[in-house]
DNA sequence: TCAGCTTGTGCGAACGATAGCACAAATTAT
DNA sequence: ATAATTTGTGCTATCGTTCGCACAAGCTGA
């Protein structure tokens, strides 16, 4: 059926078809142009609603394209236009569901803007050089970096190649914009909440120092405590994951009751959940014996056994602003780096005693 | 700096430089070829270790490439070779951490094979047509579909365009290969385990019927129960998520003790965790009053409050075999569809009474 | 009536890499 | 010494799109 016996063209033998034709019969702009009897450029322009193409031609071509099941080849377009429509994304460890939720949101919002996400890296391990190279190979228009850690490598590569970067849930370093929750303010709010709730001996389950957002939360929290004439009763490292939080909870549970804190600030929900579980297993009641507050508001924080009082990160808004920033810099790379902080919202649940009660 | 005053070439004015050069000074094969004083083809061949290029030239070019920070342009390569090095991935809802773990594994293993993952869709919502088109636009070499649901759309598009597809954690439909845990056998194993442990009244918290893997687990489980002369005491729909499982747990807790099941089979860990929490909140002890077993072995299943006895899906192996299948079909599209089942492993923890105890 | 403008298309050169074919130089066989 | 190989490179077309520029037709105004 397909051009049955090739008619030898006037210009002589056209060596069509390599060993195997790469695009197996998929319709291209050239196909369409032949069908429509116009040039390839006209088809290209008609398809992207160039105002210079007449209404009639445009409709005719559009109809033809639909009928032929035409899909533009993103690779050819990129080669020609320099824009890939791809956003690289570096994801933090799935051990923290926050990143999974972030991913889902990012995929949806990027799609709504006509962009796709190329996963550069996911997980806790270090990001290899070869991996980061993919960013360049695939000509990503921009890059989203969510991992609170391990990012600098990718950032440098992007910066060196003029790829705009936005960090989400992370404090900006050099050469990058960032969107984050106002972590310090969230920390302060939690400190006020606990102190107003009558807590005085407060333990902190911190993330590793390389987590910039975690450090901010700690900073705000301690700052506020100090302003209220208190200081943290203890600081422990929960490693950023459930198990670490659990271990901290065990430590706390081991303390004699009179030396035990009356509240725990978990720098992230997962760690707080670990700590809560350890406490309860040790027979310590939450919140009757110890209050627990945290940060993130992941889905599990609302599960009945936890009912975690926490600062909700405005995930949707963070992704939205992040993409705004990225797209703006893709259009105009001369824009200066920008850091946005979005206010989190305190979600009061049952894991901490409240002022009134 | 860049070719200061363009030397008018013999063939007349060469209109170099469009409005803005797309690749801002990034080194290309042509750059290298000029530096090395050889042709572009030679560079191309040297870089991919073509045996026809002399050792010396190859080394010289390799050194040059490193120094210039050369990165091949994947888009140009694709256009020319027809292979993009991209694998599309359709992800299930992040509400089930299993998919997040799968993603992390897939990203790592794909990278090890020199492939990148393009996220086509993530999450519970339906997959839009425009979204699925991305698969074609970006010329993905193959596609991984993990969602137990919502996949048919993407599968059809891939099939229609000759893109090999492998479904992971899913029973194959038409036009696709698949890798899954041996869900039925896992179900049987759990049934034997429970019955040997002395359980007789067993409830099942099922996933929606559209989850093919879930149905398989149920099938195997019921089959084995029947073979042992029993039948499920009740079947409930947990919707595939924690909240649904929790609701089922509440239902069960409401039953008078004599009508209560003595064991629950949660079709997935998340649902079982929900059910366990509901039971415990109602004061029902696990496993003393009711045993709970499940399927998946997500990270949280091992958390102390759950200690879930479950069938571990061989995640790593599943992804590995899935990629094997995909890569083989990318090389040779004529290969027939293939369905692989991998045996899961029973992980015994504390959530269920065991035969000996 | 003809210059000058608008409007709609076509031409052809990129974009960066690949691969078939041609071909020069070096090596071996006769 | 000449032909037949082998070995290493270069030439060039091609992948599908985009975009600057040229250009033809239709319209307006003097």
Instruction: Check residues B179 and A94 and name the one with the higher pLDDT.
Output: B179
| Whether pLDDT at A62 is above 60 | yes
> Would you state the pLDDT for residue B315?
96
| Whether pLDDT at A8 is above 50 | no
User: Which pLDDT band, with edges at 50, 70 and 90, does B18 fall under?
Assistant: very low
- The whole-angstrom separation of Cα A235 and Cα A248 is 10
> Would you state the pLDDT for residue B174?
67
- Residue of chain B whose Cα is closest to the Cα of A277: B305
CA distance B311 to chain A (A): 20
> Would you state the pLDDT for residue B149?
62
> Would you state the pLDDT for residue A151?
58
**What is the per-residue pLDDT across A40-54, written as a single tens digit (0 to 9) for each?**
889 988 888 888 888
Q: Which residues does B285 contact at the CB level (< 8 Å), separation at least 6?
A: B279
Instruction: Check residues B32 and B245 and name the one with the higher pLDDT.
Output: B245
Instruction: Check residues B82 and A112 and name the one with the higher pLDDT.
Output: A112
Instruction: Check residues B234 and B354 and name the one with the higher pLDDT.
Output: B234
> Would you state the pLDDT for residue A214?
93
| Whether pLDDT at A92 is above 90 | no
> Would you state the pLDDT for residue A326?
93
> Cβ–Cβ of B119/A103 closer than 8 Å?
yes
Residue B73, Cβ neighbours under 10 Å: how many? 21
| Window from A96-100, A299-303, B186-190 with minimum mean pLDDT | A96-100
| Window from A57-66, A119-128, B47-56 with minimum mean pLDDT | A119-128
User: Which pLDDT band, with edges at 50, 70 and 90, does B152 fall under?
Assistant: low
Provide the terminal-to-terminal Cα distance of chain A, rounded to the nearest Å. Answer: 80
User: Which pLDDT band, with edges at 50, 70 and 90, does A17 fall under?
Assistant: very low
> Would you state the pLDDT for residue A333?
83
CB A309 within 8 A of CB A347: yes
| Whether pLDDT at A246 is above 70 | yes
Report the candidate in A191, A178, A183, A204 with the shortest Cα–Cα distance to residue A344. Answer: A183
Task: Point out the residue nearest to D21 (C-alpha to C1').
Answer: B15
Interface size, chain A vs chain B, as Cβ–Cβ contacts under 8 Å = 157
Chain B interface test: which of A24, A27, A75 (most B C-beta within 10 Å): A75
User: Which pLDDT band, with edges at 50, 70 and 90, does B281 fall under?
Assistant: very high
Question: Highest mean pLDDT range out of A23-27, A352-356, B45-49, B340-344?
Answer: B340-344
User: Which pLDDT band, with edges at 50, 70 and 90, does A4 fall under?
Assistant: very low
CA distance B267 to chain A (A): 19
> Would you state the pLDDT for residue A244?
97
**What is the per-residue pLDDT across A198-240, written as a single tens digit (0 to 9) for each?**
999 999 999 988 888 999 999 999 999 999 999 999 999 999 9
Instruction: Check residues A71 and A202 and name the one with the higher pLDDT.
Output: A202
- Whether the beta carbon of B23 falls within 7 A of nucleic chain D: the reply is no
- The whole-angstrom separation of Cα B166 and Cα B75 is 24
Q: Is cis: bond before B287, omega within 30 of 0? A: yes
User: Which pLDDT band, with edges at 50, 70 and 90, does A14 fall under?
Assistant: very low
Adjacent-strand bridge partners of B142: B87
**CA to C1' distance (Å), from A53 to C9:** 8
In B2-61, the residues whose Cβ lies within 8 Å of chain A are: 20, 22-24, 26
Nearest to B137 among A74, A101, A162 (CB): A74
Q: What are phi and psi of B55, to 5 degrees?
A: -45, -45
| Whether pLDDT at B256 is above 50 | yes
Q: Which domains does chain B have, with CATH numbers?
A: 29-72 (no CATH), 83-181+315-342 (3.40.50.2300), 183-313 (3.40.50.2300)
Contact status of A111 with chain B (Cβ, < 8 Å): yes
Provide the terminal-to-terminal Cα distance of chain B, rounded to the nearest Å. Answer: 81
């Amino acid at each position: 059926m397909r051009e049955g016996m090739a008619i030898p063209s006037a210009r002589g033998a056209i060596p069509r078809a390599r060993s195997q034709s790469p695009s197996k019969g998929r319709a291209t702009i050239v196909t369409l142009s032949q069908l429509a009897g116009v040039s390839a450029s006209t088809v290209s322009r008609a398809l992207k609603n160039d105002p210079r193409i007449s209404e009639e031609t445009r409709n005719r071509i559009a109809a033809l394209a639909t009928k032929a099941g035409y899909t533009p080849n993103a690779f050819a377009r990129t080669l020609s236009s320099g824009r890939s429509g791809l956003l690289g994304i570096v994801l933090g460890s799935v051990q923290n569901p926050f990143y999974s939720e972030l991913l889902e949101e990012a995929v949806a919002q990027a799609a709504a803007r006509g962009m796709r996400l190329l996963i550069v890296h996911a997980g806790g391990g270090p990001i290899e050089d070869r991996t980061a190279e993919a960013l360049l190979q695939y000509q990503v228009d921009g890059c989203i970096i969510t991992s609170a850690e391990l990012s600098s490598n990718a950032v440098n590569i992007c910066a060196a190649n003029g790829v705009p970067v936005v960090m989400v849930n992370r404090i900006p370093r050099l050469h990058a914009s960032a969107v984050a929750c106002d972590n310090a303010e969230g920390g302060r709010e939690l400190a006020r909440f606990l102190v107003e709730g009558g807590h005085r001996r407060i333990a902190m389950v911190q993330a590793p120092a390389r987590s910039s957002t975690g450090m901010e939360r700690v900073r705000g929290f301690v700052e506020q405590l100090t302003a209220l004439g208190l200081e943290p009763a203890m600081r422990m490292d929960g490693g950023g994951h459930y198990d670490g939080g659990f271990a901290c909870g065990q430590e706390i549970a081991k303390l004699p009751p009179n030396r035990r804190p009356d509240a725990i600030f978990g720098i992230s929900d997962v760690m707080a959940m670990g700590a809560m579980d350890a406490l309860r297993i040790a027979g310590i009641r939450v919140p009757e014996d110890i209050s627990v507050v945290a940060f993130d508001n992941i889905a599990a924080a609302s599960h009945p056994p936890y009912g975690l009082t926490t600062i909700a990160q405005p995930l949707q808004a963070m992704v939205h602003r992040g993409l705004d920033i990225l797209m703006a810099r893709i259009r105009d790379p001369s824009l200066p780096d920008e850091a946005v902080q979005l206010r989190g919202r305190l979600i009061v649940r049952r894991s901490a005693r409240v002022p009134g009660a």
